[in-house]
Amino acid sequence: MAGSTLASPSAEPVVVAAKTSAAVSPGRETWRRFRRHRLAMASSVVLALLVLGVVIGPWLWPIAINEIDFSAQLQTPSWAHPFGTDDLGQDILARMIYGGRISLAVGLAAMVVATFVGVVVGAVAGMSRRYADSFLMWVTDLFLSLPQLPLLLLVIYLFREQLKAAFGVEGGVFVLIVIVIGGLRWMPVARLVRAQFMSLREKEFVEAARAQGATRFRQMVHHILPNALGPVIVAATIEVSSAIIAESTLSFLGLGFPPDIPTWGRLLFDAKDHLDSAPHWALFPGAAIFLTVLSINFIGDGLRDALDPRRVI
């Protein structure tokens, strides 16, 4: 009877060829997703042109903003004055270029203040499990319930002269408007950051860091905050447009920058009495505010979609 032998499995390894794809960085993937948002890309081009115009505009259109020419009062747009002139014969294009830098600077600076305060308050509230969370959210709800425009007017009325004496006329008004607008716009950011922190603090990677002895501050800064930046960036872009509108509103009401500093809102304030005879005086500053705010909002929508991994683009 012949013994049967069992064939042993081969010891030679089986090599399976697989296609290797180059790893795509998160930044490149976000840019790819952002480029597919057509309105966001178009808005980025419009905003870039506006920023470029107010930055290099004084070199391309070197006309003094306070040059008065009574013989050219309230002229309509022409080759000599592409955006027309005001009631003193001043060139509106030159004044818009100068004022655009201030309006955009106010929007960016107020956004930084609002985002910083909102991230700090939201992070502390999101990491707290006891009384700090309830107290900070109570303060946030209190600020949300306050009427912002009357409060803006009250604070500016009370502290404008003191800041003018400390920082000068233009610097004092700039600091006051940035602090007031930023100090009253941090609440949505704080609530958003708190929600992100409360969700992320229970994730496995945070538990692992906690088990390895990471302090609460290190958990916040190194593990949770980088993963919560997506919604914060989107909220920050919206804050820029809100700050520009708030500054324009204050200037339109005559409580912003002084008359010799032609922000876009101040130009609208000066043009309100000449809407019938010189509509171009209000049209161009209003269009600049409209395009800037609309572009920033569309860019925020594009960033929201690009930073959301659950959305297929």
Mean pLDDT of 93-120: 90
Residue 313's contacts (CB-CB under 8 Å, 6 or more residues apart) are 33, 36, 37, 305, 306
Q: Which of 243, 232, 246 is nearest to 121 (CA)?
A: 232
| pLDDT digit string, tens, across residues 44-83 | 999 999 999 999 988 988 888 888 888 888 888 888 888 9
Question: What pLDDT, in 10s, does the model give residues 250-306?
Answer: 877 777 777 778 888 888 888 888 888 888 888 999 999 899 989 988 988 888 888
> What is the pLDDT confidence band of residue 24, given thresholds at 50, 70 and 90?
low
Largest pairwise CA distance in the chain: 126
Q: Sort residue 203 into left (φ over 0), alpha (ψ -120 to 50) or beta.
A: beta
Helix residue ranges, H only, 201-279: 204-211, 216-218, 229-252, 264-271
Tell me if the pTM is above 0.85: no
Q: In order of start, what are the domains of the chain with their CATH numbers?
A: 27-66+83-307 (1.10.3720.10)
